[in-house]
């Protein structure tokens, strides 16, 4: 079993010198960086650079200043560091600020598709095999730098889901179409995670995202660094901080049940700040029936998934006709008509790929009255647990 100690440390803003101190303190609470990274090791650092290009202030990506704080410490024990993600557009590296910080620190910045992908055995719940980025597989050690965010399909995206980016973009699109049910899709995410488990996870929770994440929610100041050797435990602690029950978040539950990490807060030792002292009140979850779905009888799960999830709807006055939604849609439901996007509800599987891809807030997630009722029950459950 991976280390179930998780460090939670208060952090200043991205421009403050206290951020580096907070990252170092979090690692010291875990026994120091060399507990996870041997000197001279070949390290791959997986950041979250969700395409298309996004500036860091939107809280969509792992903030470059946060990554720089971790990379500066890594550089003290090894020169062999590669930072990367699979991006569609190389402008992502400039817009995000990663090109600048990696050049300044002298570490390699890599678009994962440049070195290709290798098929590996997974033996997972959904996948038998998967194509994984060769740069990830060739590393001695993997360091995971996820962003704390909501997700309109999976409720939460963090340490486990960050590794969805190590498979090819075309496969990611296909998987959304082949596995539209949240519980099954999350099993697939855990399958991929099982093939590339990191030695260390340091979560950017300085400013997270609430609401309609992972790309169109609102930045929410949290002011924390959350770190641990067990990525599943890091997710569980982060979820507890924002008011979620970790064992009702599918990625955490599946990983915990499969022995890939500890998702039960009762089994995690939190060092640094206590969860109760840093809990985020009234953290807004995505407009979907995420957690309540996990409480329904199994026979109702498919009905609930089909009828209670939010639907993507185009807001014409915001749409610029860029076509990002068309490229992201796995079923062809999104199209450009008369210079504006449209979504065919008959073909839409509610995977939220179009919503994730849009950078103009031109695709909203809307729910019907039944889903809004269930969402209100979620809020009541969260408040009752507190």
Tell me what pLDDT residue 353 has: 80
The yes-or-no verdict on residue 281 having pLDDT over 80 is: yes
Q: Where are the alpha helices (DSSP H) in 56-162?
A: 64-74, 91-96, 98-105, 134-137
Cis peptide before 214 (omega within 30 of 0): yes
As a whole number, mean pLDDT of residues 57-77 equals 97
pLDDT for 301 equals: 53
pLDDT of residue 385: 46
pLDDT confidence of residue 345:
86
Q: How confident is the model at residue 311 (pLDDT cuts 50, 70, 90)?
A: confident
**For the residues 196-215, what does the mean pLDDT come to?**
96
Res. 202: pLDDT tops 90: yes
Which comes out higher in pLDDT, residue 180 or 344? Answer: 344
User: DSSP for 2-15?
Assistant: ---EEEEEE---TT
Each residue's pLDDT tens digit, 344-358:
988 887 777 898 889
Which residues, other chains included, contact 166 with Cβ-Cβ below 8 Å and sequence gap of 6+? 46, 86, 112, 132, 133, 136, 192, 196
Q: Residue 117 phi/psi, 5° resolution?
A: -135, 150
Instruction: Convert the pLDDT of each residue in 72-118 to its tens digit.
Output: 999 999 999 999 999 888 899 999 999 999 999 999 999 998 999 99
Helix ranges (DSSP H) in the chain:
18-29, 64-74, 91-96, 98-105, 134-137, 169-178, 182-195, 231-241, 250-257, 275-278, 290-293, 298-308, 324-328, 353-357, 369-385
Question: Radius of gyration over alpha carbons of the chain, in Å?
Answer: 20
Query: Which residue reads 């996820």 in tokens?
Result: 146
Q: What percent of the chain has pLDDT over 70?
A: 88
Tens-place pLDDT, residues 124-133: 999 999 999 9
Mean pLDDT in residue range 229-248: 97
| Separation between Cα atoms, residue 115 and residue 123, nearest integer Å | 24
d(C-alpha 232, C-alpha 274), whole Å:
18
Q: The tokens 């507890």 sit on which residue? A: 240
Burial of residue 33, with CB atoms counted within 10 A of its CB: 0-12 exposed, 13-18 middle, 19 or more buried: buried
Instruction: Catalogue all structural domains in the chain, each as residue range(s) with its CATH number.
Output: 5-278 (3.40.50.11440), 290-385 (3.30.70.20)
Q: Answer whether residue 35 shows pLDDT above 60.
A: yes
Cβ–Cβ contacts within 10 Å for residue 10, how many? 16
């Amino acid at each position: 079993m991976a280390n179930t100690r998780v460090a939670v440390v208060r952090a200043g803003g991205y421009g403050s010198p206290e951020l580096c101190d907070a990252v170092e303190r979090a690692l010291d609470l875990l026994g120091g960086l060399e507990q996870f990274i041997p000197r001279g090791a070949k390290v791959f650092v997986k950041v979250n650079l969700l395409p298309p290009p996004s500036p860091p202030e939107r809280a969509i990506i792992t903030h470059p200043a946060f990554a720089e704080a971790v990379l500066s410490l890594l550089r003290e024990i090894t020169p062999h560091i590669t930072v990367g993600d699979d991006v569609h557009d190389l402008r992502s590296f400039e817009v995000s600020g990663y090109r600048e910080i990696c050049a300044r620190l002298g570490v390699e910045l890599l678009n994962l598709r440049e070195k290709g992908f290798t098929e590996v055995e997974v033996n997972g719940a959904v996948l038998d095999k998967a194509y994984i980025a060769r740069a990830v597989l060739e590393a001695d050690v993997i360091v995971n730098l996820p962003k704390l965010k909501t997700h309109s399909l999976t409720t939460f995206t963090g340490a486990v889901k960050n590794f969805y980016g190590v498979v090819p973009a075309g496969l990611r699109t296909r998987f959304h179409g082949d596995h539209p049910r949240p519980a099954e899709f999350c099993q697939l995410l855990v399958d991929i995670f099982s093939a590339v488990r990191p030695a260390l996870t340091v979560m950017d929770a300085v400013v997270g995202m609430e609401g309609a994440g992972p790309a169109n929610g609102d930045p929410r100041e949290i002011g924390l660094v959350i770190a641990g050797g067990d990525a599943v435990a890091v997710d569980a602690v982060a979820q507890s901080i924002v008011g979620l029950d970790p064992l009702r978040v599918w990625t955490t539950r599946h990983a915990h049940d499969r022995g890939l990490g500890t998702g039960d807060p009762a089994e995690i030792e939190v060092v640094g700040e206590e969860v109760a002292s840093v809990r985020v009140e009234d953290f807004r979850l995505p407009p979907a029936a995420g957690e309540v779905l996990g409480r329904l009888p199994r026979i109702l799960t498919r009905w609930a998934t089909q009828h209670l999830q939010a639907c993507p709807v185009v807001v014409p006055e915001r749409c610029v006709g860029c076509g990002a939604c068309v490229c992201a849609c796995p079923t062809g439901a999104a199209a450009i008509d008369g210079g504006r996007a449209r979504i065919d509800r008959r073909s839409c599987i509610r995977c939220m790929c179009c919503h994730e891809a849009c950078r103009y807030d031109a695709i909203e997630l809307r729910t019907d009255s039944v889903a809004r009722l269930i969402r209100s029950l979620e809020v009541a459950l969260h408040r009752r647990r507190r």
